[in-house]
Structure 1
Amino acid sequence: MKNILQVRGGAGDLTKADVNVSPKDNLYLAVNSAWQKDAVIPADRTEIGVNTEIDMRIEKRMKDDLAALLAGKEDVNSVPNLAKAVDFYKLALNIDQRNAEKTAPIQADLHELLALKDFSDFNTLAASNLNQILNSAVILPFAFEVDADMKNTQKHALYFAGPGTFLPDTSSYQAPDAEKLLQILAKQTQHLLELAGVETAEAEVIIKSGLIFDQKLAKVVKSSEEWSDYPACYNPISLAEFLIKFKSFAIKTYLETLFDKLPERVIVMEPRYLDKIEALFNPDNFDQIKGWMLMKFINNSAKLLSQEMREAAFPFRQAVSGVAELPPVQRQAYYLTNDFFDEVLGVFYGQKYLGQAAKADITQMIKQMIKVYESRIANNTWLSQATKDKAIVKLNALVLKIGYPEKLEAIYDQLKVEPTVSLYENQKVCSVIRAKYNLSKLFKPVNRNVWLMPGNMNNACYDPQRNDITFPAGILQAPFYDLKQSRAANYGGIGATIAHEISHAFDNNGAQFDENGNLNNWWTKQDFDEFEKRTQAAVDLYDGVQYGPSKLNGKQIVAENIADLGGLTCAIQANKLEGGNMKDLFENYARSWAQIQRPAAIKTEVSVDVHDPQPTRVNIPVQCQKEFYETYQVGPTDGMWLDPEKRVEIW
């Protein structure tokens, strides 16, 4: 008789293929090992798997289509503003022109930053509306953004946050390889600055100062775990309270360059950072601030310049991700274009590749899943009737966004592309337009028809502030979804994904927003206390699970794991109602998350992502489903067995 130690996530190592393993011991490996043992990660990528292959399929289609548009073989007027996207792509693709320009496109902006003598100079630059440099290169040590007010989503509010650090997360600075990574960044930055004409001694001072400031930031800004608590970002204070936090930086003058009229209050997303802003952002720290901004500027700008600069800016990314080769120019050109024109390209993609039959079928599946969810809430054993009623109101208020939007957002009419100037200059102009467009929304009503994801994206999402779920055309393909595969397989793929996104309306973050998307407590205290107990059980279930070189942080990934658990449970119930084959469902669920990653990429993902790595998203949710035990006859001596009292069920 087998005597397998009971483990969360099944017996065995998910990073090592085992073609002889049974689904009873490890469902993920049983389904994916035959693929996994022969899979090869492309040199210019950090992973390969089902989702990467879909991404690559979308990317190839779009690059082929952009080539056809450039050649006049596709209609460039088929989607509004598509011609602009094609012009931008052509600029990004022209590496010969970028090589000829070398670092000339950035010289004026670089020297304006280098010329800053003191903090007073910086205040002057900021008062001139940043001379477009700071905004376009994202190098300020703080950020403002306009978004819907979490407690009144009909109106916009101004949000304030701190900057990102050089390493992927604040926790990265405690890792054993932190110093090595920072040394690689320092050497890379030295090379880039010298290529741009900065003297060696000056570059060394810039880098030394910049790294000191980054270390200070890392002790104050939020970690990924902290960011995972979305409602904790809502900390409104009056404008007067906000302004008084800044003693040295002319914050009021700066804001007056951004807005014709200032708001009455600011939503502070990082209160700890705001409390420390004067200690960080002051004349004594000027050289450190200047060094940090210059490091950000040169590293962010290099990708838009020559091949030599692209290659010089690669070592740090390589060290953090483990990727072996710099992605080719054509791939880079597509993603640079997609960064500004994603919705335009997404509509083109959706119109061309998503059929009406598939869209109608997906719509029906989503409506079916909502009915299943309603049934599960109605029959829930741990909620009071009052909370159930409000949950069902929220569920039935969900807005569905499938495929691609019918109308483009207004920003795309405003973006400008000038084919006669450099890629860097066009990127800067588009960045400034985008920043101004966002800030211009402050006193306008919220457009609830905006899509968070474009049609050419392989992903899906729930937006708590609009109470909507989005399924772009990009994800609506095999193995997640295919009209030709069984309904049960589709439930294991896109069905579980649909229910996953619905579950986000009731995860530890989404549960705090009402049917209108407002941050508003609609629970009884007793029910929410029980919900928090179950949420903690989900944290504990995943926390410390080993995957490759890293251990999962259960608190950081809890919202996604609540959604995974609820999504699979509801997909199973929908499949049972239709008499579907459970093995088809479980096997396609496991297949949908097949992936192998470079170890460095795993470490980075685990430190920053609110999702756990794809292979770890299979076995633990499955271990919590009684139908899995019934389907595969799993018993206490099998590797996939988890004692009933350890299984977590929330939705």
Structure 2
Amino acid sequence: MHTTHFAAGQPGGSATTFPVDESLLNQDLYDAVNGKWAEQATIPADHASTGGFMDLVDNIEHTLMADFDDLLAGKLTPANPEMAEFKKFYTLTRDFAGREQAGAAPLKPYLAKIEALQNFADLNAALVDFYREGIPTPITLSVDPDMKDTSNYALYVDAPNLILPDKTYYAKDNPAAKQLLPIYTQMATKLLTMVGYSEDDAAKLVDQTKQFDALIAPHVKSSEEAADYVKDYNPFPLADVAAKTDALDLTSAVTALLGATPDQAILPQPTYFDAIGDLLTPANFPLVKSWILVKTVLGASGTLTEDFRQVGGTYGRALSGQKQARSQEKAAYYLASGYFSQVVGDYYGRKYFGEAAKADVRKMVLKMAGVYQNRLAANDWLSEATRKKAVVKLQKLTIKVGYPDKIDPLYAKFKVDTTKSLFDNAQAFDEIALAEHFGHWGHPVDREKWDMSANTVNAYYSPSNNEIVFPAAILQKPFYSLEQSSSTNYGGIGAVMAHEISHAFDNNGAQFDEFGNLNNWWTDADLAHFKDLSQAMIKEFDGIDFAGQKVNGKLTVSENIADAGGLSCALEAAKSAADVDLRAFFINWANVWRMKATTEYMQLLLSIDVHAPAKLRADVQVKNLDDFYTTFNVQPGDGMYLKPADRVKIW
């Protein structure tokens, strides 16, 4: 159900070397390492940020776009049937003239279905089709591993997403809504006129959409609440959930989709379903209908004409402070590679990473796991009973490196119909993917699947699989290179590896056992002490001023615990190497967090991202490590000094 990402869209470090300001090392590590870079770095107009993560993303984009130009030109032969279909689909995404000619016509039949709805009885009759076609509905359904029995799938019944990024934006004293909702309104109204609605009708539809969105907002979780994802596990008898509303026949829809009727459903947001009877009333039906229609038009905008794409991205760009949309060519590449992500990842991993690198990195991960096991064995606050369980969990950890051994069978089902529009092909793929998703019901969980493609610059831990995954794309400079010293590599990829291992023992991951099941394996006393240590980590970050706002220690605690454990474990590994250089270790740790971003993007991340700001990840964590003080001669009164009593040490 949940995966815990290393960076989740936060760009950092850079492979380019800039001089370190020696005078600042004991005052502000991040500024000492990255200040000179930041002075000259410019954020590209089609980006919200720049820096090392984003540099790697841009480099991979450049490399793959060049390769796929050769593919389209016939200079590169598809390596497999899935790649041949990708070539056809990429050709469609790049056929800009064909997209202009089709206009909004491919979307019209779907809008007609929505327009035909007169009441909830009509919606109920169309409900199964809407789920199969991916048309938005006020109740979302998914089939994911049961958090208490991860070998088998469970039905999750949830609330839809809000227009604003987080429910906190809806508070009367939050000024962001006053800036953002008019931009959303203007964008959505314009899109509706582009598909043929009058200005007055478009304005009414968008106003009703916002009304329904505002009714939903009080009953869903904030990002801070959602970050405690163990609390998503709220099983109820399906009959009880279905009885919450008489507007929709949820049991019949679920039975039609799954081919069976589950006994229970898991509600990540039960308060939403306590309110669902008051939301889905005959008086509110016009609002619900408008909300479905507007969301459908927005969702389609990227697969229609260039004007649709440009207008449809307006709100997202305002949220992140991005000055302009990607070029048509880049957008076509991302659209095609998004649908064929694992196919593109397989190509990238095999060509630019390979089996030898896979084996080398795997060895490094195993070494980090060994260091972690030694640290657990020497831990001075866990009882022997809990320590033994922790070691068992670590030993059962699955490690995935580079790229999967085989392409996910889903992609063999994607067949491009070149006589149809881009929209129609994309819609067909969506329906195939949804059918496969609901088709998981009644089958054992496939633990071989990857949640990220190999060309993704990131890494993750999955508590439900008890696995750590390192896609090929992150396994390069500045994180990892055979040309870098061992200490530099440990400060980069070593800390990433140990960060992901630490997620098995953060405030969320620690509640799952070695099989990935939600199951308390702690003694009461150890758990109470761990919660105290977690509280200390919350306090260390909470309320720090950043980008005109404050860091939320509760929202970021799991990632901060993982950063702390990852950094201390990587430090120990670096110290065990013959060529240890702790200065290089700490400098590369700061280097990988190199990031320059728009104020809007930084403020958005502060509201919704479970990671602390990149600069603080670099600066705050090192203050907890005694070796940092001796390496840079940090003394009381220095900017990087933290009293020994305030240094947080968990793993």
Q: TM-score range by the shorter chain?
A: over 0.9
Is the CA contact 2:29–2:619 (under 8 Å) kept in the aligned structure 1? Answer: yes
The residue aligned with 2:641 is 641
Is the CA contact 1:113–1:294 (under 8 Å) kept in the aligned structure 2? Answer: yes
Map 1:335-484 onto structure 2 (within 5 A): 335-484=334-483
Partner of residue 54 from structure 1, selected from 53, 56, 68 = 56
Is the CA contact 1:593–1:618 (under 8 Å) kept in the aligned structure 2? Answer: yes
CA positional deviation for 1:380: 0.6
The residue aligned with 1:227 is 226
Larger mean Cα displacement after TM superposition, 490-499 or 319-328: 319-328
Larger mean Cα displacement after TM superposition, 405-414 or 357-366: 357-366
The residue aligned with 2:531 is 532
The residue aligned with 1:600 is 600
CA–CA distance in structure 1, aligned partners of residues 162 and 432 of structure 2: 25
CA positional deviation for 1:275: 1.2
CA–CA distance in structure 2, aligned partners of residues 210 and 83 of structure 1: 41
Query: Does residue 155 in structure 1 map to residue 152 in structure 2?
Result: yes
1:545-596 Cα distance to aligned partner (Å, 9 max, x none): 1221321111111111100000000000000111410011100110001000
The residue aligned with 1:22 is 24
The residue aligned with 1:11 is none
CA positional deviation for 1:120: 2.1
Is the CA contact 1:41–1:596 (under 8 Å) kept in the aligned structure 2? Answer: yes
CA positional deviation for 1:21: 5.1
CA positional deviation for 1:185: 0.9
Amino acid paired to 1:96 = A
Map 1:260-409 onto structure 2 (within 5 A): 260-409=259-408
Amino acid paired to 2:122 = D
1:507-526 Cα distance to aligned partner (Å, 9 max, x none): 01110011111111100000
CA–CA distance in structure 2, aligned partners of residues 551 and 131 of structure 1: 39
The residue aligned with 1:136 is 134
Query: Does residue 629 in structure 1 map to residue 626 in structure 2?
Result: no
Aligned in 2, Cα 1:119/1:18: closer, same or farther, shift over 3 Å? farther
CA positional deviation for 1:357: 3.9
Does the residue aligned with 1:471 lie in a helix, a strand or coil? strand
Amino acid paired to 1:445 = P
Aligned in 2, Cα 1:517/1:565: closer, same or farther, shift over 3 Å? same
Is the CA contact 2:238–2:251 (under 8 Å) kept in the aligned structure 1? Answer: no
Is the CA contact 2:130–2:137 (under 8 Å) kept in the aligned structure 1? Answer: no
Task: Name structure 2 gaps, 5 residues minimum.
Answer: 1-12, 14-18
Is the CA contact 2:239–2:251 (under 8 Å) kept in the aligned structure 1? Answer: no
CA–CA distance in structure 2, aligned partners of residues 390 and 159 of structure 1: 29
Is the CA contact 1:237–1:267 (under 8 Å) kept in the aligned structure 2? Answer: yes
CA–CA distance in structure 2, aligned partners of residues 585 and 360 of structure 1: 23
CA–CA distance in structure 1, aligned partners of residues 300 and 582 of structure 2: 51
CA positional deviation for 1:19: 5.6
CA positional deviation for 1:180: 2.4
1:605-630 Cα distance to aligned partner (Å, 9 max, x none): 11111112222210111111111001
The residue aligned with 1:172 is 169
Aligned in 2, Cα 1:131/1:165: closer, same or farther, shift over 3 Å? closer
Is the CA contact 2:47–2:322 (under 8 Å) kept in the aligned structure 1? Answer: yes
CA–CA distance in structure 2, aligned partners of residues 26 and 443 of structure 1: 54
Does the residue aligned with 2:453 lie in a helix, a strand or coil? coil
Is the CA contact 2:453–2:471 (under 8 Å) kept in the aligned structure 1? Answer: yes
CA–CA distance in structure 1, aligned partners of residues 347 and 122 of structure 2: 46
Amino acid paired to 1:122 = L
Query: Does residue 499 in structure 1 map to residue 505 in structure 2?
Result: no
Does the residue aligned with 1:444 lie in a helix, a strand or coil? coil
Is the CA contact 1:79–1:348 (under 8 Å) kept in the aligned structure 2? Answer: no
Is the CA contact 1:372–1:570 (under 8 Å) kept in the aligned structure 2? Answer: yes
Aligned in 2, Cα 1:432/1:405: closer, same or farther, shift over 3 Å? same
1:357-380 Cα distance to aligned partner (Å, 9 max, x none): 432321121111111101111111
The residue aligned with 1:34 is 36
CA–CA distance in structure 1, aligned partners of residues 409 and 281 of structure 2: 38
Does the residue aligned with 1:58 lie in a helix, a strand or coil? helix
CA–CA distance in structure 2, aligned partners of residues 613 and 270 of structure 1: 27
Partner of residue 44 from structure 1, selected from 43, 46, 50 = 46
CA–CA distance in structure 2, aligned partners of residues 131 and 571 of structure 1: 46
The residue aligned with 2:90 is 89
The residue aligned with 2:616 is 616
Does the residue aligned with 2:248 lie in a helix, a strand or coil? coil
Larger mean Cα displacement after TM superposition, 488-497 or 413-422: 413-422
1:470-506 Cα distance to aligned partner (Å, 9 max, x none): 0000000100011111111000000000000000000
Task: Name structure 1 gaps, 5 residues minimum.
Answer: 1-13
The residue aligned with 1:68 is 70
Aligned in 2, Cα 1:437/1:90: closer, same or farther, shift over 3 Å? same
Does the residue aligned with 1:146 lie in a helix, a strand or coil? strand
Does the residue aligned with 2:151 lie in a helix, a strand or coil? strand
CA positional deviation for 1:356: 3.8
CA–CA distance in structure 2, aligned partners of residues 549 and 100 of structure 1: 46
Query: Does residue 585 in structure 1 map to residue 585 in structure 2?
Result: yes
- Count of matched residue positions in the alignment of Structure 1 and Structure 2: 631
CA–CA distance in structure 1, aligned partners of residues 383 and 317 of structure 2: 52
The residue aligned with 2:558 is 559
Larger mean Cα displacement after TM superposition, 325-334 or 48-57: 325-334
CA–CA distance in structure 1, aligned partners of residues 444 and 229 of structure 2: 22
Amino acid paired to 1:31 = V
Does the residue aligned with 2:247 lie in a helix, a strand or coil? coil
CA–CA distance in structure 1, aligned partners of residues 558 and 254 of structure 2: 35
Amino acid paired to 1:276 = A
Amino acid paired to 2:58 = M
Amino acid paired to 2:263 = E
Map 1:186-205 onto structure 2 (within 5 A): 186-205=185-204
Amino acid paired to 2:389 = K
CA–CA distance in structure 1, aligned partners of residues 112 and 313 of structure 2: 23
Is the CA contact 1:404–1:454 (under 8 Å) kept in the aligned structure 2? Answer: yes
CA–CA distance in structure 2, aligned partners of residues 282 and 376 of structure 1: 57
CA–CA distance in structure 2, aligned partners of residues 385 and 220 of structure 1: 43
CA–CA distance in structure 2, aligned partners of residues 415 and 142 of structure 1: 28
Amino acid paired to 1:627 = D
Amino acid paired to 1:632 = F
- Percent identical pairs in the alignment equals 39
CA positional deviation for 1:204: 1.7
CA–CA distance in structure 1, aligned partners of residues 414 and 238 of structure 2: 31
CA–CA distance in structure 2, aligned partners of residues 190 and 239 of structure 1: 38
Amino acid paired to 1:171 = T
1:241-264 Cα distance to aligned partner (Å, 9 max, x none): 221112211212222331211111
CA positional deviation for 1:339: 2.2
Larger mean Cα displacement after TM superposition, 446-455 or 355-364: 355-364
Does the residue aligned with 1:400 lie in a helix, a strand or coil? strand
**Which portions of structure 1, spanning 4 or more consecutive aligned residues, are displaced by more than 6 angstroms?**
none
CA–CA distance in structure 2, aligned partners of residues 451 and 319 of structure 1: 32
Does the residue aligned with 1:618 lie in a helix, a strand or coil? helix
Larger mean Cα displacement after TM superposition, 249-258 or 587-596: 249-258
CA–CA distance in structure 2, aligned partners of residues 631 and 19 of structure 1: 15
CA positional deviation for 1:238: 1.3
Amino acid paired to 2:138 = P
CA–CA distance in structure 2, aligned partners of residues 415 and 612 of structure 1: 39
The residue aligned with 2:540 is 541
Larger mean Cα displacement after TM superposition, 63-72 or 78-87: 78-87
CA–CA distance in structure 1, aligned partners of residues 124 and 356 of structure 2: 58
CA–CA distance in structure 2, aligned partners of residues 445 and 256 of structure 1: 19
Larger mean Cα displacement after TM superposition, 445-454 or 245-254: 245-254
TM-score, scaled to structure 1: 0.95
CA–CA distance in structure 2, aligned partners of residues 613 and 330 of structure 1: 31
